[in-house]
A and B are shown apart, each in its own frame.
Chain A
Amino acid sequence: MLEAVDLAAVRGDRRLFAGLGFSLLEGELLHVHGVNGSGKTTLLRMLCGLVVPEEGRILWEGKDIRSEREAYLRNLVYLGHLGALKGDLTGVENLRITETLAGEAVTEDQAMAALQDVGLHGHEDLPVRVLSQGQRRRVALARLALSQAGLWILDEPFTALDKASVAALRARLENHLKQGGMVILTTHQEIDIDTALVKQVALG
């Protein structure tokens, strides 16, 4: 269970949000709403432990994420709005390196299969910089197929994706929730996932 208690964020002189709290159980999705600049990305980075909250605490299984850093990070996948891909490396190399750093090394075949899974058949050996924006996004999303982590924090995962990829990602999210995973995401798109599982947080 992930819990946020009384979170507040300040960027520069501006107070983005204060007194924010929620709890997320296994199998639930948290949809963070808000206009541009309302602090959605700051909230997500805060939940990853990249930004230190001005006030409040974030608890993972009842313990502060900063005291349980290693165990928490092993269970977390964060996909930011930057793709975190190296342009000079191929998709397979990118995936294998990211996964090794995340503490779950994968073989070349596994990485290859994950890329084919997101519809990048035949593009595995190209440097990522020659791929289109949507294809690059799909390489980043291929991590979700490889990772064993329970908590996914996704910043605008649907941007630049075509219709088929949006549907595939939605199916992947649903499947993850069904298996008891947790998802926190921001998106301006409508996501029609079974509403019983979806919690909403509005910022700004």
Chain B
Amino acid sequence: MFAVLRCMMKRDLILAVRRMSDVLTTLFFFIIVVSLFPLGIGPEVEILRMIAPGVVWVAAILASMLALGRLFEGDYRDGTLEQMLLAPQPLSVLVLGKVLAHWAVSGLPLVLMAPLLGLQFGMTAEGLGVLLVSLVLGTPAISLIGAVGAALTLGVRGGGVLVSLLVLPLYIPVLIFGAGAVEASVTGLGAEAHLSLLGAILALALCFAPWATAAALRISLD
């Protein structure tokens, strides 16, 4: 079972490396959206510091939406998805492998870039640390939840817009606790409660999302 998981992850990572442009578009979208805010709002440090966590988090969510369309689309078109459904191992394991690889190429670069972008907003070192941790916990959950939406809208005309309408409301808890964690630590309340809840969301998503995605894929390919 782990051999299949590893094989799936390795395959998608190799494919991502051979198509570097896809990875870079997501990352640059994130960087540009975040950078537009200080330019638009002006240099008042107090305001920037206040909006920073929310801006970074919303930009991360939008950037991952951008990458979501690619999660199953290619495999659906060339028939490899059909072969995945015919693998004797549980489909949810294959899906988990795909989502983890997807996070590594579309979520992880955002996480690593976020502290650098936070500097533009004059965030404190402590705030940047909490932002990083909240993104590490939150972005995999976003990928996992998004996979369910991507699988449901597979092969549907205008699926890109539909998946945003379907999935963005589900991201609200992640956004609230993610951005809230940074705010809580800055105001001195401590971020532990928010981060624990983010962790809980991630754990729940890890348990249920691959299974729901697998079911959605079966329906889409029937």
Contact = CB atoms under 8 A, between A and B. Distances in A.
A146 interface: no
A86 B83 contact: no
A73 B83 CA distance: 10
B78 interface: yes
B41 to A, nearest CB: 42
Contacts of A103: 4, 87-89
Interface string B205-222: 000000000000000011
A150 interface: no
B86 A48 contact: yes
Contacts of B83: 78, 84, 98, 101-102
B94 interface: yes
- Contact-size category for B: 20 to 34
A113 interface: no
A68 to B, nearest CB: 11
Nearest to A94: B80
A73 B78 contact: no
B18 interface: yes
Residue from B3, B14, B85, B86 with most neighbouring chain A CB atoms (10 Å)? B86
B83 to A, nearest CB: 5
Interface residues of A, number: 30
Contact of B79 (A69, A84, A97, A102): A84
A102 B14 contact: no
B82 interface: yes
B82 A80 contact: yes
A86 B85 contact: no
Contacts of B19: 88
A115 interface: no
Interface in B42-97: 77-80, 82-89, 94
Contacts of A148: none
A89 interface: yes
Contact of A80 (B7, B14, B79): B79
Contacts of A127: 18
B142 interface: no
A50 interface: yes
A85 B222 CA distance: 20
Given A78-B82, A103-B89, 18 more contacts: A50-B82, A51-B222, A52-B222, A69-B88, A73-B88, A80-B82, A82-B78, A84-B82, A86-B15, A88-B15, A89-B18, A93-B14, A97-B7, A98-B83, A101-B89, A102-B86, A102-B87, A103-B4
Interface of A: 48-52, 69-71, 73-74, 76, 78, 80, 82-89, 93, 97-98, 100-103, 105, 127
